[in-house]
Amino acid sequence: MKTKKRIGIAMLFTGMLILFFSCETNVEEDIIIDDMMGMEEEPCAPSFTNDIEPIIANNCLSCHSGTQFPDLRTYQGVSSNAGIVKTQVVNRTMPIGGSLTNNEIDLISCWVDNGAPNN
């Protein structure tokens, strides 16, 4: 009877040791995550002239220069269709032949979200 009790205690002790040593914490990773929680995202403020217009010119005007809706040749044309443009590029349905880069999509989204300013 003593042998069974000793085996049971030894198995319990071994199990507890395995459980204890299998738990680990990565303090460095926890610190990095905590540091990131305090970081605020930089506000985006893309310029129509410097950021949006070149994207439109290089990727959209081969089709949307007055022959197909929407006409995106001018600020007025782009801004009045900003929601449509954003939806099409975010969903990657335009431009035909390949989508914009993630950075270009982010710039257009941010510009539209900021009210599509003429800057």
- The domain limits of the chain are 48-113
In the predicted model, is pLDDT for residue 29 greater than 70?
no
Tens of pLDDT, residues 38-86: 566 778 999 999 999 999 999 999 999 999 999 999 999 999 999 999 9
Q: Read off the pLDDT band of 13 (50, 70, 90).
A: low
Q: For residue 15, what pLDDT is reported? A: 61
* Omega cis (within 30) before 46: no
Q: Residue 96: which pLDDT band, with cuts at 50, 70 and 90?
A: very high
The whole-model pTM stands at 0.65
The confidence score (pLDDT) of residue 57 equals 98
Percent residues over pLDDT 90 in the chain: 62
pLDDT at position 56 is 98
DSSP the chain: -HHHHHHHHHHHHHHHHHHHHH----HHHHHHHHHHHT--PPPP---IIIIIHHHHHHHTTTTTTTTSSS--SSHHHHHHTHHHHHHHHHTT--STTSPPPHHHHHHHHHHHHTT----
* Token output for 115: 């009210």
Per-residue confidence (pLDDT) for residue 14, from 0 to 100 = 73
